[in-house]
Structure 1
């Protein structure tokens, strides 16, 4: 299954990492908290969004040893365009 993310919700609007994302809104209008999204991603469900160039970008989970798990754009090393999605 594939689902499009259209909006994000962040804890700290001034925090410039995807670790600040705690919720997402999908194109069907559903809202997911980050823990549910991470669970679904780890189960093999695909989530994606369209960046400012209208390129489709997939989301992946990151599970650091000493921090909370979070999401980011697959194959993105710096300045994650996921943070450019509009808030809700």
Structure 2
């Protein structure tokens, strides 16, 4: 059985892994600035191919940091601020620190 500390460590590691690439940090920043946007907008703003941006969005979505909502033929992406808050709380809790 996994202890709560081990579960929190695993979750923190998952979120940190999702944030472990500069392009994903930039995507997250852009989504926070824009509130929400489609993949094409991100491609236009970043020096990356559409397929690369899509792959990074997939990693961010799998972690829960980003949500995608289908709007007609396109998917609109936004940051899940609750999950971002979870990441911040987990980082703040490292070493026994409290918020």
Is the shorter-chain TM-score for this pair beyond 0.5, marking a shared fold?
no
TM-score computed with the length of structure 2 as normaliser: 0.32
Normalized per residue, which structure has more helix?
Answer: 2
Higher gyration radius (CA): 2
Which structure features the higher share of strand residues?
1
Q: Which has the higher contact order (CA 8 A, sep 6+)?
A: 1
